[in-house]
A and B are shown apart, each in its own frame.
Chain A
């Protein structure tokens, strides 16, 4: 394999707090060196970046496809192609598919199909409970050995606190990271958007913030008393983030982390406008001031990672009255642009924006990628941070195109994506 030299790039490496013009030398699937004025041997492929940004490839901890069982939504192959078009070089596949990923055979299925069909690195996420029914613990230890990145309970918290406690205890034995989306279905009920004056005005049932806060408080307490590792998936309320930072101040050993979906950071509930079902997501878009609080938390490092929350829904499930339409938004191709756009708007620095989708998630799971340093896997994205482009659903590569970003001007255009030293995407 020949070497690749990327010259004259704006190197963005959050792990080393680097934001500087420099060169990157890649050899044999790994980054060989980062620096300036590298001399290239004859056999080296040279790419002059001409000031474009080079960052570690993105790591997306929350992606759903339709495979196995609902391939009309998305397959691992189509999701993977969409991902690399968005600069995502590693992604974790959620277990809440038609056939729940709750045993070793299914974890191996995702890993094997991912390796075969994927253009990027694909990690299975195991189910926390069998069939995601919230009762019987799934084979957490065996799934971890089979390659599950972590184990998740899908879209809701566990109803039974005793079950959650036993699962956290057991998971700790095997260093399994337990993930739940803090969501008490008894409180979120039939809600379809953020509870509040807008929902009342629109005549839609609301999801109150306590549906997220109450199970999050319970599970934070349990994880802390057990010493287990807990990842709250797609947090959306200021109350939960405030609770986590207060808990962190009380107990330095707290091993509880959270992610936020990019669309939750980007949009507020007004975006729903005239009942746009592409904005029907769970957790729902929040008020402007709540969203701004989340952005501040992202800036201060109180969020470990931003995820796409990619959830492909075919048109027939979205072209319905708002109350009846399905939840979910695609996000693989808009994760990086959303982060760059928010950074451009001053929500946080570009380096922090990149951190939340690279070294942030990598550090959660001790992954070697997500950083530009000698010896790290050569997973990188080359993008134009200045260029404005209009996101159009019809242009998305994903098999489903239910994007709330449809029609929005975004900054940050992916030019090329590399996985393990190979270019896997090049923009037209």
Chain B
């Protein structure tokens, strides 16, 4: 069992994003998540703090990875987990989002884990329910548990977030991961650089506190502590935002040569799933600097911590 149980200290009912969290909120989640990670590594089961609680996974957008991660986290803590198959649910029959929320709320779950394709969709649902709501990704807005697992992975490998230079490269304009992770890094006083073709950078990044925005990946890589590559959806590489996969890899693919521009001990991260040979060379994805599988491991730990704090009250 984690040494310090700060459940009652967490001052939020929902986890809708990183934006409204204080640095202490983030650190308390990271500390608890790290405890859970160590327990799991030691082969131990945590206390069943969510025994008798019901967690509903409500994914309006398919995501096998994130949904499984939440399900495993909830089950490790003893919760009953219901995966709402949205494709076959009443949503497809024309029920409005709010009606779905009201209906689910009447079933009295303890936590709703929601992914929705519209920015702000999860927040809209959270207003209509009495239980805790955890945002598992809303449109191109936020993906807070991904941000927490990213900074936890960085902290475990670098010992800190403060003063780290993190390069985020790829489809930043359409990425909730880039937004949430940037917010988390900035709150913990690290630095973020964006590298992408101009077509994949939001029109105005001035509100995000980014220290460098460039279409020159190699410039961004110089002296970086962490290189986080984002997935580029294949349909965006077919002439709409980028001419071709070949051209994208030529200018933005993370190769061994490019990685030497970063610090020698720079971490390589990717939120997955990867397009090998497009945004990242296989030798790098599987290489000694890659912490991509550790990110997945920390994903479960972070979700245990979040569920503990929000569903366990």
Contact = CB atoms under 8 A, between A and B. Distances in A.
A163 B198 CA distance: 13
Given A142-B250, A173-B215, A137 B198 contact: no
Secondary structure of the B contact surface, majority rule = loop
Interface string A167-182: 0011011100000000
Contacts of B197: 169-170, 173
A129 B240 CA distance: 10
Contact of A141 (B238, B239, B251): B251
Contact of B199 (A130, A136, A138, A169): A169
B244 A166 contact: no
Nearest to A135: B239
Given A141-B250, A142-B246, A170 B199 contact: yes
B243 A139 contact: yes
Given A169-B199, A170-B199, A139 B240 contact: no
A140 interface: yes
A166 B173 CA distance: 13
B239 A137 contact: yes
Contact of A137 (B215, B242, B251): B242
A172 B238 CA distance: 19
A141 B243 contact: yes
Interface in B245-269: 246-247, 250-251
Interface string B221-246: 00000000000000000111111101
Contacts of A166: 199, 240-241
A226 B240 CA distance: 17
A163 B251 CA distance: 21
Counting chain A CB atoms within 10 Å of each CB, which of B197, B239, B244, B250 scores highest? B239
A172 B244 CA distance: 17
A169 B199 CA distance: 6
A207 to B, nearest CB: 30
A136 B238 contact: yes
Interface string B178-207: 000000000000000000011100000000
Nearest to B241: A166
Interface in A146-178: 163, 166, 169-170, 172-174
Interface in A114-141: 129-130, 135-141
A129 B239 contact: yes
Chain A, interface residues (CB within 8 Å), range: 10 to 19
Contacts of A138: 239, 243
A226 B215 CA distance: 14
Given A139-B246, A139-B247, A142-B250, A170 B240 contact: no
Contacts of A173: 197-198, 215-216
Contacts of B198: 169-170, 172-173, 226
A141 B247 contact: yes
B199 A139 contact: no
Counting chain B CB atoms within 10 Å of each CB, which of A130, A173, A174 scores highest? A173
Interface in A82-129: 129
A137 B240 contact: yes
B251 A130 contact: no
A138 B241 CA distance: 11
Contacts of B199: 166, 169-170
Contact of B240 (A136, A140, A174): A136
A170 B215 CA distance: 9
Contacts of A137: 239-243
Counting chain A CB atoms within 10 Å of each CB, which of B199, B216, B241, B251 scores highest? B199
A137 B243 CA distance: 5
Contacts of B215: 173
Contacts of B243: 130, 136-142, 170
Contacts of B240: 136-137, 163, 166
A130 B241 CA distance: 13
A385 B34 CA distance: 84
A140 B198 CA distance: 13
Counting chain A CB atoms within 10 Å of each CB, which of B198, B215, B243 scores highest? B243
Nearest to A165: B199
B298 to A, nearest CB: 34
A10 B246 CA distance: 51
Contacts of B239: 129-130, 135-138
Nearest to B198: A169
Counting chain A CB atoms within 10 Å of each CB, which of B197, B198, B246 scores highest? B198
A226 B198 CA distance: 10
A34 to B, nearest CB: 39
A172 B216 CA distance: 11
Contacts of A139: 243-244, 246-247
Contacts of A163: 240
A260 B145 CA distance: 58
A137 B247 CA distance: 11
A341 B164 CA distance: 67
Contacts of A226: 198
A170 B243 CA distance: 9
A174 B214 CA distance: 12
A142 B247 contact: yes
A385 to B, nearest CB: 46
Nearest to A170: B199
Nearest to A227: B198
Contacts of A141: 243, 247, 250-251
A173 B240 CA distance: 15
A136 B240 CA distance: 6
Interface string A286-314: 00000000000000000000000000000
Contacts of B238: 136
Contacts of A129: 239
Nearest to B216: A173
Given A137-B243, A141-B243, 12 more contacts: A136-B239, A137-B242, A138-B239, A138-B243, A142-B243, A142-B246, A142-B250, A166-B241, A173-B197, A173-B215, A173-B216, A226-B198
7 contacts: A136-B239, A138-B239, A140-B247, A141-B243, A141-B247, A169-B198, A170-B241
Interface of A: 129-130, 135-142, 163, 166, 169-170, 172-174, 226
Nearest 8 A-B pairs (CB), nearest first?
Answer: A136-B239, A173-B215, A169-B198, A139-B243, A137-B243, A139-B247, A137-B239, A166-B199
